[in-house]
Structure 1
């Protein structure tokens, strides 16, 4: 069954799920490389947790207006609005000077998640149908993905990847040397907003596939894995995208073969396993390679002292 799911032979629905989540993983990995280098992982986590009240609020609003409360575009729109408000709240709290950035992020994350759980409880108590599917937005429930949902996710993921490719050089300067980027006339603030928008967009489109609690993991873990394998940004972005797609492909296939496993958690565990392998066996930055560099070489027969191993460059 697992092999069938991996090779897209487990039926049309399983193939749709695997391809849809893989498209999301590709975009998440690519954007995650810049999120990691720019140090925006925590604010991404805060925004992801804040999406939960947005989803529940969109359900309640659609229900009150007589629309379909289960429509994915409406739920994703609610998540996007809530995530954007969370980012603005973090920025506003940090701007007061009374809270540091990490404290502001932790506060927004906690409030967003708590409010989301309360609203989800309210939704679950309503005498209407369809609210059971909202639980999938917490840990992911790709098994219930329809073909139209998968096409929407894939289309948005491709659009995010295309925008990232278009702005690759300015974003690279922003991540590595924002002062130089400002000096050469690049709109640093606007580029930061673009990166945040890409981050939020990827988080929103992956909400139904991997869930709010796991979506940031699929952005950060493949990027961290790629960083262990290379020191070149272009190669890192490509590797991160491929690792994200592979993690989503394998994780969603495992979840399809074992329906009791939550999709988002399974995908993140696969990504984490790849990270551990890279942490151990990366050619230059891996633990094994670094340990071998510290092992003294055997004395030479001519009495000369052995040379020391090549030092590593932290910058890459």
Structure 2
């Protein structure tokens, strides 16, 4: 399939634009989770997004609304996903439980609730419940223009919040003690930061699925970190990697035939990460290996000179 044929098809255009928007937003905002060493918080959020979306579906169905409306599902997923992230971080503040353990507990509890609600919906007579299981693994081909507009709009708001609170996010991420001394409210900043990351995850759940969304938040920042030393550069490059990798993966999945889009995008992002690990000029594995080799050679020469002087 040629690029012209690809772009000429309405469904394929929706897949391409939708996944690229998801990649840009999740890549940019995922940089803060990566630098805070809480990359797996995206996994917590994505699994908590399931019960959030299902609760929103049930509430909307009870009120006679369209339970599968994208804005309704996003609101439910954002609320519950933010609660899950705050629960994990709050647990570490009030107890001796480590953050990795707290995230695992939060993920398990909220995902268990989501699976229970999915069974309730599957066994009940709720209008519009067909295809609700797509939120587990995603289905990019069902994206509509309304879904695309909603994803871009909500993602754009999250990026705007990041820019408005850039100083607060930066200090809280890189120097939390200094941020506290300056009087920045740690809990407030954390709540806003995690809410934006929740948005980055949630807008991709319908297209990619909660199982794979963690790769969209983790992989682009990890690749971008190999090429840049500054936070603005990392955020911009991470968003670019997320967008380009998603676009390339979407095109390849459709060009090769009936292949799921989400997994191909994840593999594309992984390939970019591998290239970054090997080829980046300052932090690549090759550069590090050569530096270690030179250091060992220098030590060997010094020892030989000491032996010779004796």
Identify which of 128, 131, 149 aligns with 2:129.
131
CA pair 255-62 structure 1, distance change in 2 beyond 3 A: farther
Identify which of 137, 140, 161 aligns with 2:138.
140
Equivalent residues, number: 298
Per the alignment, residue 27 of structure 1 pairs with 25
1:1-316 correspondence to structure 2 within 5 Å: 1=1, 3-4=2-3, 8-97=6-95, 99-127=97-125, 130-257=128-255, 260-296=258-294
CA pair 66-258 structure 1, distance change in 2 beyond 3 A: farther
CA pair 67-273 structure 1, distance change in 2 beyond 3 A: same
Unaligned runs of 5+ in 1: 300-304, 307-316
Retained in 1: the 8 A contact 2:219–2:270? yes
Unaligned runs of 5+ in 2: 303-310
Structure with more helix by fraction: 2
Retained in 1: the 8 A contact 2:139–2:209? yes
* Alpha-carbon separation, structure 1, partners of 2:256 and 2:114: 28
* Alpha-carbon separation, structure 2, partners of 1:88 and 1:291: 40
TM-score, structure 1 normalization: 0.85
TM-score, structure 2 normalization: 0.86
Retained in 2: the 8 A contact 1:21–1:245? yes
Listed one character per residue, the Cα deviations across residues 115-146 of structure 1 (whole Å, up to 9, x for unaligned) are: 22232233233345643322221122111000
Retained in 2: the 8 A contact 1:210–1:267? no
What is the aligned-residue RMSD (CA, Å)? 2.5
* Alpha-carbon separation, structure 1, partners of 2:101 and 2:186: 24
Instruction: State the Cα distance separating 1:10 from its structure 2 match.
Output: 4.2
CA pair 250-231 structure 1, distance change in 2 beyond 3 A: same
Please identify, of 271-280 and 169-178, the stretch whose mean Cα deviation from structure 2 is larger. Answer: 169-178
Retained in 1: the 8 A contact 2:171–2:179? yes
Instruction: State the Cα distance separating 1:231 from its structure 2 match.
Output: 1.4
Listed one character per residue, the Cα deviations across residues 149-180 of structure 1 (whole Å, up to 9, x for unaligned) are: 10110111122222222222332222211222
